[in-house]
Amino acid sequence: MEANVETKKPDENLCPSCGKVKQYPTKHLCFYCYRRGNMGTMKLIVLEHIKAAEDTKRLSTNELVDVLNRFQYIGKKVNIHQMQNFIAKLRSYKLITSAKRRPNGVGRPITEHMVSKSGNRFLAKYKHNWMLGLLVPIKFKGKAQVMTQDHRDRASSIRGKLMKHEYEIYTFIFPERRKL
């Protein structure tokens, strides 16, 4: 006697990241996962790459752009001018900058970056929030972000999928840039 086994097709209305019903069926991700993948995640990635390279050397802006362009989950190429503007925002409390003379001694000095103590604290908190399925930023500008029961359910299912290794940690990061 053979059992009639049906193969399950992934439902088009379910978000692949959290497994819950999507608010907009035409989009690839639900609103929560889309927002989670876009909000504050560039800070997480930049600080993590600077911290990883910090053991060997400090990173200049050009080296950081090269490292980020090799990162497979970024999507589009990172522009050097965008990165300079972004680093200027981070510089106040998360990065320590230093100037290094150019090899021939002519021109502006090369600015190198490393993560400060408070930057290490922020990075640990960002990673912790990301692994829990929460939004990355610690503080939000403007309106306070209320965590509804629906958001808690979605965060809980993302946490479960990450713990079971159903997909990689950064699979659903930057959905807009990667056209997810």
Q: Domain limits of the chain?
A: 31-170
End-to-end CA distance of the chain: 43
User: Using one digit for the tens of pLDDT, what is the confidence trace for 63-114?
Assistant: 888 988 888 888 788 888 888 888 888 877 788 888 888 878 777 888 888 8
In CATH, 31-170 is 1.10.10.10: yes
Per-residue tokens: 95: 């990065």
User: Using one digit for the tens of pLDDT, what is the confidence trace for 121-131?
Assistant: 888 988 998 99
User: Using one digit for the tens of pLDDT, what is the confidence trace for 149-174?
Assistant: 888 899 999 999 999 999 888 888 88
The sheet with strand 95-100 has its strands ordered as: 59-60, 110-115, 95-100
* Residues 5, 138 contacting (CB under 8 angstroms): no
Q: Mean pLDDT, the chain, as a whole number?
A: 82
